[in-house]
Structure 1
Amino acid sequence: MSKNFPALRALALGVCASLASTAASAYELPSINLGLTTFVDGAPPPAGPGFYLMSYLQPYSADHFKDSKGKDLPFPKSDVRVVPLINQFVYQSNYSVAGAQLGGMLLLPAVLSASLDDGVHGAILGKTGTGMGDPVLGAFLQWNPIMGERGPLFSHRVELDVTLPVGEYDRTLGLNPGAHHTSVEAYWSGTWWASPRWTVSSRVFYLWNGKNSDPLATRFAQYGITEAHNFQPGQAMHANFAADYTLTPQWRVGLAGYWLQQLTETKVNGESLSGSKERVVAFGPGVMYSFSAKDHLVFNHYTETAARNRPEGQRMTLRYIHAFN
């Protein structure tokens, strides 16, 4: 591995996450929920309290890797492609706390395939770069909709999640399913019915990351750090947002997007790494089809822009929701 250009890495999905966050130079944030959840996101589960399975397939590809000023990194060629699969098991109870229903979830991410050409070391593709990622445990409170004369007006939810660093990880690899550090994330999600057919939704997150105590020693050599003993990605805020229109009881169409901003610098050996904050914004169309109150399929496509210290590419999300009750 070159001391000047450490290999890029792709991390598996974090809580309700989005995969295909890659890392080169200052690219150190773990995978997070970028565009996985969109339409009517703050509403209670459509089939009521009970058990749900939510499966997400989110292919990501990028051939632009950005520095802290949004300029392409000076690689002659660069390309990353990652296909993660996430299964999320959700239970909403009838037990009330503060006027809301208590629930919990377990999220199990995996990397099905991953390929990477960082423009310096050539393509990196291997079995060890795929497999199980870091599982996530969460607890939430879901409020029922506030009702008006024409139907629901507003509904919301809060959740706290912890990512457990037990996924597959090898510090010498360019691609890793696991991030090898704990993360704690809280979010608020709300849906507003502008009319019986129009809804606007958002999910806003705050992310805290723990330390990775097993990095490659030369990972940050380009910053003059000859031996990295540990690093800690900075804290960050990010959000998903969506607006949709109900065409029929089965079909919804709309627009969605996501935004990420790292708030504090990444730390290496306890010292802040100047110019390491990440940022990205994305927008795109989406559609949702409801087979019944128990089965729903959502598709979104995103084009990223305004990236800083991250790749900038295309992301698709296919989400299936099934109720067992």
Structure 2
Amino acid sequence: MRPVAGIAVLALAGGSMCQAQADVTLPPVNLGDSTFQDGIAAPGWMVQQTLSVYRAQHSRDDRGQRSIDAPQIESVALLGQLSVISNRRVLGAYWGGELIVPWIHAQVTPAHGSALAATGPGDVIVSPLILQWPQARLAGRPFWQRLNLNVSLPTGRYGTPGRLDAGRNVLQFNPHYAFTWERSEAWELSGRLHYLWTGPNRDPAPGLDASEVQGGQAVHLNAAVSRSAGQDLRIGAALYALVQITDDRIDGVAQPGRERIVGVGPALGWSRGATSLHAAAYIETLAKDRSEGTRLSLRYATRF
């Protein structure tokens, strides 16, 4: 069977994390850090490192119009991940779990005023349950699928005056369903569909003048198509999209504006034996109520 591959990665760089501290925003999520052959995995252990780099000089309002005096956003996230899939079966799938520990550096430079920065560990992500189904057939071709119940814990630094927050001070539930379908010996299609629920923050930023805030629910998608370019190399394209589906709330009152973003760009994948390396670059578009920029993702994994 194929090696453990790309079980879960969370992109803590960019997006709404770095917007003004007096806004209610969605937490950072996996945007574009899973690409080729994402649904393929097998029993075993995997160690993975993901580097996500984000930069934006523009933002758009809730109508999609470019905002005046948008801040410049720069962020880097390094995520260390340990995953395991056992040989035991649940509902016909191999079950397992994982731990992801992020380290972030982010800086927001407003059009007027001093820059704010954050450096340090972010919110830790755990999955108490991964279900990886063995290879099946779809339209007569190989098909893999996986369910992962990720939970983000409020472990990152929060509430330090004069600095960006490295953590969100909330519990987050961000499960996903991943798949890979091999159209032919050369071509494959992979995708990952996430749902995001964010718990209430009962210690919000002072600028909100509130006792409780809660970000809205959202769905987000990573998708990629690739073609074999030799024994070890794959080339193709990747896409991500996020759409907020319920309103943010301040003290229970719904707030205007729902976030949206789409990113698209080229991707490469290389693998040999137990080791793999993936790279993807994205240009963002169609933003609403959030920043719009560019993103680079590099992911290295090895199984044992």
The normalised TM-score by structure 2 is 0.92
Q: How does 1:1-325 map to 2 (within 5 A)?
A: 16-19=9-12, 20-21=14-15, 22-24=18-20, 26=23, 28-44=25-41, 48-75=42-69, 78-111=71-104, 113-125=105-117, 129-138=118-127, 139-147=129-137, 153-170=142-159, 172-219=161-208, 227-275=209-257, 277-290=258-271, 292-323=272-303, 325=304
Q: What are structure 2's unaligned runs of at least 5 residues? A: 1-7
Cα distance change, pair 121–229 in 1 and its aligned pair in 2 (3 A)? farther
Quote the Cα distance in structure 2 between the aligned partners of 1:251 and 1:63: 34
Quote the Cα distance in structure 1 between the aligned partners of 2:164 and 2:239: 26
Residue type at the aligned position of 1:197: A
* Post-superposition CA distance 1:91-113 (Å, at most 9, x none): 010001111100100010111x3
Quote the Cα distance in structure 2 between the aligned partners of 1:177 and 1:102: 31
> Is the contact made by 2:159 and 2:205 (CA closer than 8 Å) also made in structure 1?
no
Match of 2:4 in 1: none
Partner SS, residue 58 of structure 1: strand
* Post-superposition CA distance 1:126-173 (Å, at most 9, x none): xxx1100010111210011125899x5211001111111011112534
Quote the Cα distance in structure 2 between the aligned partners of 1:251 and 1:89: 25
Match of 1:223 in 2: none
> Is the contact made by 2:137 and 2:143 (CA closer than 8 Å) also made in structure 1?
yes
Residue type at the aligned position of 1:57: L
Q: Number of matched residues?
A: 292
Quote the Cα distance in structure 1 between the aligned partners of 2:65 and 2:134: 45
Quote the Cα distance in structure 2 between the aligned partners of 1:271 and 1:293: 54
TM-aligned CA deviation for residue 180 of structure 1? 0.8
Cα distance change, pair 149–315 in 1 and its aligned pair in 2 (3 A)? closer
* Post-superposition CA distance 1:37-69 (Å, at most 9, x none): 01011111xxx4211111100010000011101
Match of 1:4 in 2: none
Cα distance change, pair 27–38 in 1 and its aligned pair in 2 (3 A)? farther
Quote the Cα distance in structure 1 between the aligned partners of 2:250 and 2:111: 25
Cα distance change, pair 32–104 in 1 and its aligned pair in 2 (3 A)? same
Partner SS, residue 64 of structure 1: strand
What is the RMSD computed on CA atoms of the aligned residues?
1.8
Quote the Cα distance in structure 2 between the aligned partners of 1:174 and 1:80: 14
